[in-house]
Amino acid sequence: MPGSRPSLPAFLAILAAGALALSGCAREIGRDFDPDQADRLVIGTSTLADATTLLGEPFRTYRLFGGKIAKWWYLRDTPGMTETVLLEIRFGSDGRMLGIIREIEKRAPESEPPDTPQT
């Protein structure tokens, strides 16, 4: 019947099923990699090929004033934790590494306020 509403028990069942489906959802963007492997690279010596061997293919590369920036990025988002790993390596016009920018962040969802005693 158009315009009819589901009964309260049916509505609650639909709501519970949706919450259950969402509770297992996880999102991943980029490619997982070990940022600690970047410690094996040497400024002035290592190349993009060296970095790719250690870290895998970069998420993206950019040309920049005769050089290049390679970016490795990974995000994992689950109901209990969000983890972001970002690694950018700048290479000069000769193809040698100039420096590394590294950022690793893990966040848990905001904790709920403690229950207050009732008087």
pLDDT digits 0-9 by tens, 17-76: 444 444 457 788 888 889 899 999 999 999 999 999 999 999 999 998 889 999 998 888
Q: 8: exposed, middle or buried (C-beta count within 10 Å: 0-12, 13-18, 19+)?
A: exposed
Q: pTM value? A: 0.65
Residue 93 has pLDDT above 80, yes or no: yes
Model confidence pLDDT, tens digit, residues 11-25: 445 544 444 444 457
pLDDT for res 12: 45
Residue 11 placed within a domain: no
Q: Are 91 and 104 in contact (CB under 8 A)?
A: no
Owning domain of residue 71: 26-107
Residue 81 placed within a domain: yes
Residue 66 placed within a domain: yes
CATH number for 100 = 3.30.1450
> How many domains are contained in the chain?
1
Q: What is the DSSP-derived secondary structure letter of residue 81?
A: E
Residue 9 has pLDDT above 60, yes or no: no
